[in-house]
């Protein structure tokens, strides 16, 4: 059982209005590893997480988690499956009317009948793991961005999930909290043996913790492999993205008429 | 021409889709057996939606009653009929002004707040994260607010009516010198429980459902950006006010127009 992948994505197609976001995406996420999904902004990385979490329904194709077809499940079964998943949102998404302690306690309270003393112990353990046991009484509005994300991480692991989905965990973090988050994600994975999917375009940080990387662009998997193999990949598109070059197959310039003609005003009114 | 027809068709589709979604939202959130936690959340919302609207509703009720007393007196006194002031004040308040004005104030005070709050929860991904934790936001976030609005507005309307009648007395009796016995006596003789009090309450229940429903739907369905929240909040107040005034005419026609 441990060899079979936790998530299998097959021929996934999804479009928003007229725009096709995925055109036949295939992907496999192995158990107990950190799998990174990378790609330029607007390639639908967050959409992919929402498709995996069953919040969006694909036009075609399948997503299976532990063998269960996510989009074939009833609402009830889907909610049961989600108890085994944690998700860390870009904004943290802490409940603004609850303090830090109650935010982390929330999944425990709604899904278990544990006595209050045990809820307290569990919450303190999770907060200790992210280094914020002392912040338990603060409200989300009193936290910095990095702290909010760590609290959200404690909440995401409150029920000891098998799978955790990270949506852009490093965006907008100062170097210190970035380092803290990178460490935490790796440590949690090693200590709890959970499977992680990290969606990000912070290349250096993501490559430093990922076991396997998918690069998506134009609705498909453009490249995949270990961080080392991608680093030396010769495909110009992969190389441009991984090494952050401003110009390449993805052009620096938005499509426009010839610059010379444009300056001379021979092309049109503006 | 084709573009126009296409746009009309698109608008029709959007409208139908919106109505369908709003109905689904209402059914999925409001129907069900409440848990102990649900009741706790409902009580909390009763405070935010009801208690916090109390001040504006009561103060407005007082002023409207006072204006009714003043206006009613100046008209009635020409016919020597100022004794009928109590009945005039009470009937206008119970049948029309209390349910309608309280609902309009409620839409402005509580409805817009509901839309903005739910919208903000959506924009900051709180609703999504709730879903991912395996908790249905319709039951957890929308239902308590919907029920709180449905219960709070009729109670506020009663408060509005009571304080309005007292405001009318304050001006008519205490200030302008209408005989106190005839103010209350005429009111007692002419106000019918079923025709006036109950009909007013029924109106208020309908308005409560419509205003709260519009408010939570606008919050739940909005585009999760700051601009989207601003637009949705405005829409809540506009749609809710129009719905209240339109429905008031329909209900009045059914109740008092001799149509039923």
Tokens (6 digits) for B133:
């934790």
**Residue B111 burial (C-beta neighbours within 10 Å; 0-12, 13-18, 19+):** buried
Q: What are phi and psi of A139, to 5 degrees?
A: -90, 155
Give the pLDDT score at A270.
67
Give the pLDDT score at A267.
58
Helix (H, G, I), strand (E, B), or coil: what is residue A87? strand
**Residue B183 burial (C-beta neighbours within 10 Å; 0-12, 13-18, 19+):** buried
List, run by run, the mean pLDDT of 10-residue segments along chain A (270 residues).
77 84 88 87 83 87 88 85 85 87 91 90 90 89 87 88 88 82 86 87 85 86 84 78 75 79 74
Cβ contacts of residue A152 below 8 Å, gap of 6+?
A88, A89, A92, A93, A94, A103, B129
Name the percent of chain B lying above pLDDT 70: 99
Closest-CA residue of chain B to A159: B133
Interface of A with B in 100-129 (CB under 8 A): 106-107, 110-111
Contact B109, B212 (CB under 8 A): no
Interface of B with A in 12-51 (CB under 8 A): none
Task: Specify the residue for token string 């949690």.
Answer: A188
Give the pLDDT score at A73.
86
Give the pLDDT score at A253.
76
Other beta carbons less than 10 A from residue A163's beta carbon? 22
| Bridge partner residues of A220 (DSSP) | A217
Q: Tell me: the pLDDT tens digits for A29-75?
A: 988 889 999 887 778 888 888 888 888 888 888 899 888 888 888 88
Q: Rounded to a whole number, what is the distance in Å from the CA of A50 to chain B's nearest CA? A: 9
Q: Do A110 and B135 touch (CB under 8 A)?
A: yes
Cβ of residue A145 closer than 8 Å to a chain B Cβ:
no
Taking the CA atoms of residue B149, residue B155, residue B156 and residue B157 in that order, the dihedral angle to the nearest 10 degrees is 110
- Residue A74 DSSP code: -
Cβ contacts of B124 on chain A, cutoff 8 Å: 91, 93, 96
Contact B88, B146 (CB under 8 A): no
Using alpha carbons, select from A3, A10, A39 the residue that is nearest to residue A27: A10
More confident residue, B85 or A111: B85
Cite the DSSP H helix spans in chain B. 2-30, 36-45, 52-76, 85-92, 98-106, 112-123, 126-133, 137, 143-169, 180-190, 199-221, 226-256
Give the pLDDT score at A1.
45
CA distance B136 to A252: 44
Give the pLDDT score at A185.
87
Q: Is the ipTM of this complex over 0.95?
A: no
Cβ contacts of B141 on chain A, cutoff 8 Å: none
Taking the CA atoms of residue B61, residue B62, residue B64 and residue B67 in that order, the dihedral angle to the nearest 10 degrees is 170
Cβ contacts of A96 on chain B, cutoff 8 Å: 120-121, 124, 126
Cβ contacts of residue B211 below 8 Å, gap of 6+?
B103, B106, B107, B111, B149, B153, B240, B243, B244
CA distance A22 to A48: 9
Provide the edge-to-edge strand list for the sheet that holds A85-88.
A85-88, A163-167, A195-200, A34-38, A212-217, A220-225
Burial A173-198 (b: 16+ CB within 10 A, else e): beeebbebbbebbeebbeebebbbbb
Cite the DSSP H helix spans in A8-60. 45-52
Cβ of residue A37 closer than 8 Å to a chain B Cβ:
no
**Residue A256 burial (C-beta neighbours within 10 Å; 0-12, 13-18, 19+):** exposed
Q: Tell me: the pLDDT tens digits for B235-246?
A: 999 999 999 999
Mean pLDDT over residues B136-149, rounded? Answer: 91
Provide the edge-to-edge strand list for the sheet that holds A19-29.
A19-29, A7-16, A60-65, A68-69
> Residue B155 above 70 pLDDT?
yes
Q: What Å distances lie between residue A34 and A66, A67, A241, CA to CA?
A: 16, 19, 20
């Amino acid at each position: 059982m441990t060899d079979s992948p936790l998530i299998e994505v097959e021929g996934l197609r999804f479009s928003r209005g007229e725009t096709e976001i995925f055109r036949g995406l295939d992907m496999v996420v192995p158990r107990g590893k950190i799998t990174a999904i990378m790609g330029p902004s607007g390639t639908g990385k967050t959409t992919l997480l929402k498709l995996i979490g069953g919040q969006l329904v694909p036009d075609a194709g399948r997503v299976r988690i532990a063998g269960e077809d996510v989009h074939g499940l009833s609402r009830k079964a889907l909610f049961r499956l989600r108890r085994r998943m944690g998700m860390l949102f870009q904004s943290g998404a802490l409940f603004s009317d609850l303090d830090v302690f109650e935010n982390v306690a929330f999944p425990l309270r709604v899904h278990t009948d544990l006595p209050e003393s045990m809820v307290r112990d569990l919450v303190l353990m999770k907060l200790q793991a992210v280094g914020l046991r002392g912040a338990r009484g603060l409200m989300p509005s009193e936290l910095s961005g990095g702290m909010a994300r760590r609290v959200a991480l404690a909440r995401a692991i409150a029920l000891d999930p098998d799978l955790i989905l990270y949506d852009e965990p490093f965006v907008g973090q100062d170097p210190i909290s970035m380092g803290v988050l990178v460490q935490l994600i790796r440590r949690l994975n090693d200590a709890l043996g959970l499977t992680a999917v990290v969606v990000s375009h912070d290349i250096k940080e993501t490559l430093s913790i990922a076991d396997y990387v998918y690069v998506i662009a134009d609705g498909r998997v453009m490249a995949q492999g270990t961080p080392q193999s991608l680093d030396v990949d010769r495909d110009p598109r992969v190389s441009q993205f991984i090494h952050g070059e401003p110009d390449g197959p993805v052009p620096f310039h938005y499509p426009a008429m010839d610059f010379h003609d444009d300056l001379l005003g021979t092309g049109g009114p503006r | 021409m084709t573009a126009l027809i296409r746009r009309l068709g698109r608008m029709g589709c959007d409208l139908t889709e919106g109505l369908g979604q709003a109905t689904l939202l209402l059914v999925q959130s409001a129907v069900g057996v409440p848990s102990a936690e649900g009741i706790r959340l409902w009580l909390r919302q009763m405070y935010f939606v009801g208690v916090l609207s109390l001040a504006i509703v009561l103060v407005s009720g007082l002023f409207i009653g006072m204006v009714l007393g003043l206006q009613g007196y100046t008209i009635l006194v020409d016919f020597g009929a100022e004794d009928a002031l109590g009945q005039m004040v009470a009937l206008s308040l119970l049948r029309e002004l209390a349910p309608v004005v309280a609902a309009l104030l409620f839409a402005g005070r509580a409805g817009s707040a509901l839309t903005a709050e739910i919208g903000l929860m959506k924009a900051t991904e709180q609703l999504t994260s709730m879903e991912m934790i395996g908790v249905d936001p319709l039951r957890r976030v929308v239902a308590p607010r919907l029920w709180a609005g449905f219960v709070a507005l009729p109670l506020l309307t009663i408060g509005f009516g009571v304080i309005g009648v007292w405001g009318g007395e304050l001006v008519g009796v205490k200030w302008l010198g209408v005989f106190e016995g005839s103010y209350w006596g005429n009111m007692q003789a002419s106000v019918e429980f079923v025709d006036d009090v109950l009909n007013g309450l029924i109106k208020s229940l309908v308005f409560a459902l419509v205003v709260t429903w519009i408010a939570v739907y606008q919050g739940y369905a909005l585009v999760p950006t700051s601009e989207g929240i601003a637009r949705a909040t405005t829409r809540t107040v506009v749609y809710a006010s129009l719905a209240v005034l339109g429905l008031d005419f329909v209900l009045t026609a059914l109740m008092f127009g001799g149509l039923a």
